[in-house]
């Protein structure tokens, strides 16, 4: 009997979260109908590089660095032939530059030798490249290849707001993504990432602020007003 009551209670909670998620997506579409990636790039390889550089770095800083980087390294071969130490200096402002340089230059070699210079278009192949995890692969697949139902990219904004809005109790990005994928229809997966990112940047930043109770999504889920960060 207790197990049945527990199962019913869990289903009720899931249903409530699904309704809330639907309202959240609708409101985000009203607020940010054109939400999209802000990293600047001109081809798929440059997107991959920018995504790799964005790890633990702001998109603004990445765009500042890649503005000069993409002028200096115009083609994939330029990365293949690049001097590691020089490349480290070129990307140093993005942080963790040694690891990033190593993975980007190794990925360039693999893309040239194994894929004929074309960035692969599958989750399995992308996540096999050095330095690219599932989140990065989702971003590349969605933006470069139009594959917008591969998953939900859980960055710091998505992670924080998913917890704050009661959509997930987890801190692990993989588990948060799994929760969100179960609450939101596939057609909304790609948008949800960028909708939440824009909301986190422009309306509800991580730093504590006084007007959180008046925020659009807090009105959908009032308990969020007292949840920090």
Answer positive or negative: Cα dihedral of 87, 75, 143, 137: negative
- Is residue 135 annotated as part of the catalytic site, yes or no? yes
CB 171 within 8 A of CB 132: no
Alpha-carbon distance values, 94 to 40, 42, 58, 113 (Å)? 15, 20, 8, 27
Task: Tell me if the bond preceding 229 is cis, omega within 30° of 0.
Answer: yes
> Active-site residue among 59, 90, 100, 135?
135
- Is residue 14 annotated as part of the catalytic site, yes or no? no
Q: Which two tokens stand for residue 169?
A: 């109790």
CB 126 within 8 A of CB 140: yes
Secondary-structure percent of the chain, ordered helix, strand, coil, rounded to 5: 70, 0, 30
Candidates 26, 63, 16; CA nearest to 199 is: 26
Q: Which two tokens stand for residue 68?
A: 């000069």
> Active-site residue among 100, 155, 164, 188?
155
Length of the chain, please? Answer: 229
Token pair 């991580």 in the structure block, residue: 206
Give one DSSP letter per residue of 92-110, joined into a string: GGGS-HHHHHHHHHHHHHH
Catalytic residue numbers, as ranges = 135, 155
């Amino acid at each position: 009997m207790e197990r049945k009551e527990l199962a019913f209670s869990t289903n009720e909670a899931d249903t409530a979260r699904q309704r809330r998620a639907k309202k959240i997506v609708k409101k985000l579409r009203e607020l940010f109908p054109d939400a999209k990636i802000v990293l600047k790039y001109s081809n798929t390889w440059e997107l991959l590089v920018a995504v790799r550089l964005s790890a633990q770095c702001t998109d603004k800083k990445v765009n500042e660095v890649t503005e000069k980087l993409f002028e200096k390294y115009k083609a994939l071969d330029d990365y293949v032939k690049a001097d590691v130490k020089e490349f480290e200096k070129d990307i140093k402002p993005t942080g963790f530059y040694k690891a990033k340089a190593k993975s980007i230059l190794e990925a360039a070699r693999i893309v040239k030798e194994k894929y004929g210079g074309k960035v692969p278009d599958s989750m399995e192949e992308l996540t096999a490249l050095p330095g690219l995890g599932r989140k990065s692969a989702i971003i590349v697949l969605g933006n470069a290849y139009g594959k917008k139902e591969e998953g939900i990219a859980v960055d710091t904004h998505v992670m924080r707001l998913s917890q704050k809005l009661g959509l997930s109790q987890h801190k692990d990005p993989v588990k948060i993504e799994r929760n969100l994928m179960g609450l939101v229809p596939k057609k909304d997966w790609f948008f949800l990432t960028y909708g939440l990112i824009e909301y986190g940047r422009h309306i509800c930043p991580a730093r504590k602020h006084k007007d959180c109770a008046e925020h659009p999504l807090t009105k959908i889920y009032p308990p969020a007003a007292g949840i920090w960060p």
